[in-house]
Structure 1
């Protein structure tokens, strides 16, 4: 079977070689995935950014492209009535805006902030490629929709509104966001109700976004940095309704390291770097060797960024250089685990080659790994280094090739030939677990759809959703590559903003490589 696939690729490459003249067969075999499927990463990039418009809460702008969505959550913040900040009564809190994180209508602050951090990181690293694909403006819009909300939610220096709505009542209803009748109670963290994890992630998001907007909107960049530096127990201890939905299992110490590192990158202030270095052991930054990176567990992200600092001249003789090297050691443990190059602790793979971490929404770990592997491949390439794993040395090209294999699996190069990025290709999930997409559009039918009516008339329908949730990365297949496209199968068919967020940078990188190859070989067409 594989021999036949390879033969088809070689035949295809010979055709292209005759057409372009200068492209070598070996180069094409590196570019094209097995199965003779050459994916359009530019299209995947465009669709991934479109997805965030489907998830918008609040008053939608005139240039909204996802037309089946409408305004929602316009009274968010009002349900509190009078609230007290430092014993001072505050009559109104405006919490309109932000993102719904998945298929329900709750605004969870921790995953929303992680989504924005990762979107920003993707733009910081691959902004040139995103711009080359004509998507830079859309990427900035996706980030700003989140950061505008964070500015609103940060009402006082030590106050952050971290959730609007709550999972239990929301999950009793199957309603479009435009029809919500469930509680919109808001929950905050403050000096009396600590929330270092959600505050730390939100600070990281604002700091990362401030770097993104530094050139195009310096005033906004400064505003974000001002808010990021004002953030000072685990938030789900204070906000009990988050438990069972987004419990902070890893605690808050990883977010504090994460926030300090992003604030250092945004400000270049040594105090933040010193904090991250001096707390490295106590907070687990150089003691935890992880095999996952997620909205909850940030250690690997810290370790990867710390590794990259070693490249910079000012850190080569730093008094804490040995600590940065310990961070790098832990980062490389994660990378080697993804590449199956550790002696013992590796990330499991499905028979089809997909990284497999756990049953529920496994694709989040895949997209995160693809991003970090791609990023580290670039880092090694730029510094002329290789990754040393217990089972051998791996070069940057091999690392990128593996990251690409994970992306290609997502886009359809898998045993079921399913694209897990909704709207991409001809065979993708039709019954995504998502209230808005699975229900008739508000613009088509402004009639109210009640709580149980949504379950009776829409959730239980066997047919495809009325609207494709374009650009959403669903939870994906099980450990045997099997996938059931059923609305009730939320472990596999629900999508989340943070699944797609890390793909933006990877799609941009791969699209840039495709564009470079076409550019290099285009002159041969004229000479043919």
Structure 2
């Protein structure tokens, strides 16, 4: 009786702790210092709305041991010593799901940062009719108050005036002075990843504007002029637009006394995708990959298969998932996919529930973790692979008709694999959190195996692909095993709250990973990006935030170093072999980091949405890369079971016999958005695999939270 009480108490503590780590998304304010010159500083708060509903009003409370000298986007409504309470101006008070608002401040003295920052959306005073004060940029003065460089960016005229409005820069310069009239221009430079539309420029300009090119003058009152965008001239991401002005009189080279800029960002037509259906399909893909005795299944063209797996070693290795378009079972990429699926469920349960897919997610993860438990036959033994890759790939037909030998391979204390054991430990530990409230007994079983596998990884170091040469040709471990061991420790800390796991993750990270994320791509083998984001999320420490942002900046704007290459249509393109899976994984990590840690003008959040929308069809080719979804999706992925050849021929039949709903294909094999062919013989473009959908599925759940959608009532379609 006493033991049961203790166990119940410990379970309750664990539930509370995990509930705190993976609590529902809440609005968050992030401070960024723009300039600190000692006597004062300028900076901005970004108020993010990661929830699935619109914020219709908010207040911001913070401490600062000085004065607010200037504020834009809000007004101070209360002060008590160092404590300030500000409220947004009317135009800044509503924050759509997944968007942000900004409050810019000039403070004195410098040398300090705002502390104890809190956003409140529940106790909001009624808005008053408060007009925003003009944002004044004096001639020769930059946004930060320091002098701008005269004459830049060049030309025959006088000094230039610069204005920075978030990620947009305005540069005014005189092009030519004719005496009786003058030609000048305003260069609008869009440094963001959003298309700018419906922009407006207000000028305090002591001249009469007689003509405008690149925009339209819509109002003039005295020296005040309003210029509006030409609807046919949007400003693309990282692009610019020159607005040429002809004015009278000439002989005046001074720039405008004031400039004010407003714009609407976003696509010309917001993508209209049914994200709930896409999520439904992505989970269905995993069902098509099931091995063993299937029981009741939605996949009418699949039957029981692989029923003697493990017999060569006298163990039961039936069940689990086939890896890709073949019939191999690889524990490493399976475990990676399961850890990402579990993480997505922990972060974005509301998206799964909104799409009616929560129970399907649990079934999907459990089918995989049940097999991992089978494969972990002893504390220091784990099966790494079922099947011979060469024999398997020589057969082109469904798994129900395969007859080749399927040998089994394992890692042991004498033939270790810390990377594989660590990855599998992480998969089971993350899944134990997912099932903690749903099935506590199963969660405890998962956690026990996760602990044993972690100890196996630590006590017997080594690379699995050296111990299992059969796996080396297909899934070699290229990035060492430290990242997987630290990844396992971080998840075990999340599952148990035991400090020793966090200490071990911190130590491994510092010795082997810190500062080495530039140019990285999140995938089944490289856990450094996911680990950095997870550690930043758990600890909030700058060391992990810097590394996570180094990774995310590489995938977005390259602010801290190199940047991934982009196709003209906006795909973050890492390399020619399955670039969409890298983009999808980066999108999921960007969502988690922006929602749970920090974001800057929606840089990471916007990136994530664009990559998912690209995959679903918002791209120059106007095609979906998710099989069975959207416009012109792939019909012939590199997949034996769905092709269902009757005679071991990759070319017969011409088109796949069955639709592999939800499978993510590799995508364009070059920086050309149109360099994709729906051809199952092209493995780089049309491979599908468990790990391809791992991060994608969680990202789709986030998109459901942001945009809604409905699952298909009859699925798969008859």
Q: TM-score range by the shorter chain?
A: 0.7 to 0.9
Aligned to 1:49: 283
- Equivalent residue for 1:169? 391
**1:330 to 2:547 alignment:** yes
The equivalent position to 2:660 in structure 1, one of 461, 469, 474, is: 469
Partner of 1:292: 521
Change (3 A) 1:147 1:167: same
CA contact (8 A) 2:517 2:551 kept: no
Root mean square deviation, CA, Å? 2.3
Change (3 A) 1:301 1:4: closer
1:259 and 2:492 correspond:
no
Q: Normalising by structure 1, what TM-score?
A: 0.81
Distance 2:405 2:557 in 1: 46
Per-residue deviation, 1:183: 2.3
The alpha carbon displacement at 1:7 in A equals: 6.5
Residues 90-147 of structure 1: CA deviation (Å, up to 9, x unaligned): xx20000111111000001100000100000000100122112110000001100100
Q: From the two aligned structures, give the one with the greater helix fraction.
A: 1
- Kept in 1, the 8 Å contact 2:617–2:631? The answer is no
Q: For residues 97-116 of structure 1, what are the structure 2 equivalents within 5 Å?
A: 97-116=319-338
Q: Please give the secondary structure, in 1, of the residue aligned with 2:383.
A: strand
Closer/same/farther in 2, CA of residues 348 and 46 from structure 1, 3 Å limit: same
The aligned counterpart of 2:311 is: 78
Per the alignment, in what secondary structure is the counterpart of residue 419 of structure 1?
A: coil
- Give structure 1 stretches of 5+ with no counterpart: 11-25, 81-91, 312-323, 387-393, 441-448, 517-528
Task: State the shift of 1:159 in Å.
Answer: 0.5
Matched with 1:314 is none
1:280, 1:286 within 8 Å by CA — same for their partners in 2? no
Query: Structure 2 CA distance, aligned partners of 1:489 and 1:34?
Result: 34
Larger RCO, structures 1/2 (Cα 8 Å, 6+ apart): 1
Does 220-229 or 345-354 show the bigger shift? 345-354
**Aligned-pair distance for 1:36?**
4.8
Alignment of 1:131-280 (within 5 A): 131-231=353-453, 232=456, 233-280=462-509
Native 8 Å contact 1:57 1:98 kept in 2: yes
Q: Give, in angstroms, the shift of residue 413 of structure 1.
A: 1.0
* Count of residue correspondences: 447
SS at match of 2:410: strand
- Once residues 96 and 376 of structure 1 are traced to their aligned partners in structure 2, the CA distance between those partners, rounded to angstroms, is 37
The CA deviation at 1:379 is 1.5
Unaligned runs of 5+ in 2: 1-194, 199-229, 235-261, 457-461, 710-718
Structure 1 residues 467-487: Cα deviation after superposition (integer angstroms, max 9, x where no partner): 111000000112212101111
CA distance in structure 2 between the aligned counterparts of 1:343 and 1:484, rounded to whole angstroms? 35
2:519–2:562: 8 Å Cα contact kept in structure 1? Answer: no
Contact 1:431–1:485 (CA under 8 A) maintained in structure 2: yes
Q: Deviation at 1:362?
A: 1.3
1:342 Cα shift?
2.6
Mapped partners of 1:75, 1:426: distance in 2? 41
Greater mean alpha carbon deviation, residues 276-285 or residues 324-333: 276-285
Displacement of 1:3: 10
CA apart distance, 1:284: 2.2
Larger radius of gyration: 2
SS of 1:157's partner is coil
2:533 to 292, 300, 304: 304
TM-score, scaled to structure 2: 0.60
1:480 aligns with 2:714: no
Matches within 5 A, 1:369-518: 369-380=586-597, 385-386=598-599, 394-395=600-601, 397-439=602-644, 453-455=647-649, 459-461=650-652, 463-478=654-669, 479-481=671-673, 482-515=675-708
Inter-CA distance 286–399: structure 2 relative to 1 (3 Å threshold): closer
Could you tell me how far apart the structure 1 residues matched to 2:584 and 2:516 are?
A: 25
Distance 2:407 2:272 in 1: 48
> Structure 1 residues 356, 146: CA separation in 2 closer, same or farther (over 3 Å shift)?
same
Paired residues of 2:522 and 2:585 also in contact (CA < 8 A): yes
Asked whether 1:69 is paired with 2:263, we answer no
CA contact 1:161–1:186 (8 Å) conserved in 2: yes
Measure how far apart 1:4 and its partner are. Answer: 11
User: Shift of residue 171 of structure 1?
Assistant: 1.1
Look up the match of 2:578: 361
Alpha-carbon distance in 2 for matches of 1:4, 1:120: 39
Contact 2:579 2:667 in 1 (8 A): yes
Q: Is the 8 A contact 2:629 2:661 kept in 1?
A: yes
Query: Partners of 1:375 and 1:343 in 2: how far apart?
Result: 20
Tell me how far apart the structure 1 counterparts of residues 275 and 489 of structure 2 sit (CA, whole Å). Answer: 33
Q: Is the 8 A contact 1:257 1:276 kept in 2?
A: yes
C-alpha separation in 1, matches of 2:679 and 2:707: 35
Rounded Cα–Cα distance in structure 1 between residues aligned with 2:532 and 2:348: 20
Structure-2 separation of matches of 1:75 and 1:430 = 32
CA distance in 1: counterparts of 2:575 and 2:294, whole angstroms: 35
Going from structure 1 to structure 2, the CA distance change for 1:171 and 1:253 (only over 3 Å counts) comes to same
Assess if the C-alpha contact under 8 Å between 1:290 and 1:300 holds in 2: no
Contact 1:106-1:167 at 8 Å conserved across structures? yes
SS at match of 2:409: strand
- Kindly indicate whether the alpha-carbon contact (under 8 Å) linking 1:370 and 1:406 is maintained by their aligned counterparts in 2: yes
Deviation at 1:165, TM superposition (A): 0.3
Question: What secondary structure does 1:198 align onto?
Answer: helix
CA drift at 1:351: 1.5
CA contact (8 A) 2:532 2:548 kept: yes
Runs of 4+ in 1 over 6 A off after TM superposition: 2-8, 26-29
